[in-house]
Amino acid sequence: MGAFESILLTVITAATPLLLAAIGELVVERSGVLNLGVEGMMIVGAVMGFAGAQATGSPYLGAVFALLSGMGMALLFGFLTLHLVANQVATGLALTLLGLGLSGMIGEAFVGQPGIRLTGIEIPVLSDLPLVGRLLFGQDVLVYLSLALVAGVSYVLFRTRAGLIIRAVGDNHASAHALGVSVLKVRYLAVLFGGACAGLAGGYLSLVYTPQWVEGMTAGRGWIALALVVFATWRPLRVLAGAYLFGAVGILQFHAQAHGVAIPSQFMSALPYVATIAVLVIISRNRILTRVNTPACLGRPFVPDR
């Protein structure tokens, strides 16, 4: 395995959990809901993914557990913020706290146990091609799924009627309501989708990235995903670019350090954040387009007929 190929493989692993969580949150925010509980949904996904794989012996079923548990957390969030019209910011923060605590409790028995790895697929001939074989045809299913999600979300949001409805709800829920769209139903579905993605992102951590369970293993990745969505101005392809850029800079700074490049390591550790924000701000510098892309009703509760 060449060094270049190996670096790229590492970058894909680092970027995929961010991408999964961010693409889900993008849809949530496009529908006008701000769910700050990504970190909480992710960590529950991580522990449930691990638990599911242990219980069933199959990492694929583990990923399904992760997905469903993320949706469960999202359902709670949806019930509180959409049904009971609780404050979205506060509820999102509470969801993160709940997730961190709950996952610690569920995972107590799993500490110190090795996990089951969800391995890459093997396509005869293709996976063995030199250079590109493993990169293109040897990844795990979740990597392909994350990329398919980006394409799918991009297509649905901007090319279909369903996407138009989601964006309408996010931009002006009163008008959408007047047109006969069920705002709450659309938002519920978006929130659930976001939860599923965040849960899968957590599952990716405990099944692929580092197959183990330790408390707090998300280590702030949910917050990074949230920031990516904003800096990418709610555009799916920019989220993709941001996640991979963040992953790439994070890996390259380790290589620079190991090479003995004389730059303070504290600066190196900050570099992925700085670089990603800088690049995304530059590509999103057109103010008018940014305003068009920002969901106008983001974070605003909708109460029908009141």
Partner 1 sequence: MKKLFGIALAAALGLGMASAQAEDKLKVGFIYVGPIGDHGWSYQHNQGRLAIEAAFGDKVETTYIENVSEGPDAERAIERLARDGAGLIFTTSFGFMNPTLKVAKKFPDVKFEHATGYKRADNVSTYSARFYEGRYIIGQIAAKMSKTGTAGYIGSFPIPEVVRGINSFMLGAQSVNPDFKIKVVWVNSWYDPGKEADAAKALLDQGADVISQHTDSPAPLQVAEERGAVGFGQASDMIKFAPNAQLTAIVDDWSVYYVNRVQAALDGTWKSEDIWGGLAKDMVLMAPFTNLPEDIANEAAAMTDKIRSGEFHPFTGPIFKQNGEVAVEDGIILDDGALLGMNWYVKGIDDQLPQ
Residues that bind partner 1 (CB under 8 A): 3, 6-7, 10, 13-14, 17, 39, 93, 96-97, 100-101, 104, 107-108, 111-114, 205, 209-217, 219, 221, 250-251, 254-255, 257-260, 262, 264-266, 268-269
**Positive or negative CA dihedral for 142, 143, 145, 150?**
positive
In angstroms, what is the minimal distance from the CB of 271 to partner 1? 11
In 160-180, which positions are buried (b, 16+ CB within 10 angstroms) versus exposed (e)?
eeebebbbbbbbbbeebbeee
Placement of tokens 């999600």 in the chain? 149
Structure tokens given for 258: 């190991």
Going by the DSSP 8-state scheme, the letter that residue 160 receives in this structure is S
User: Cβ closer to partner 1: 233 or 253?
Assistant: 253
How many whole angstroms separate alpha carbon 149 and alpha carbon 244? 15
How many whole angstroms separate alpha carbon 36 and alpha carbon 94? 9
Structure tokens given for 128: 């063995």
In angstroms, what is the minimal distance from the CB of 112 to partner 1? 5
User: Cβ closer to partner 1: 257 or 293?
Assistant: 257
In angstroms, what is the minimal distance from the CB of 136 to partner 1? 19
How many whole angstroms separate alpha carbon 10 and alpha carbon 3? 11
User: Cβ closer to partner 1: 82 or 243?
Assistant: 243
User: Cβ closer to partner 1: 130 or 260?
Assistant: 260
User: Cβ closer to partner 1: 253 or 284?
Assistant: 253
Q: Find the radius of gyration of the CA atoms of the chain.
A: 20
In angstroms, what is the minimal distance from the CB of 188 to partner 1? 26
User: Cβ closer to partner 1: 98 or 166?
Assistant: 98
How many whole angstroms separate alpha carbon 154 and alpha carbon 235? 8
Other C-beta atoms closer than 10 Å to the C-beta of 269 total 13
In angstroms, what is the minimal distance from the CB of 288 to partner 1? 35
In angstroms, what is the minimal distance from the CB of 128 to partner 1? 19
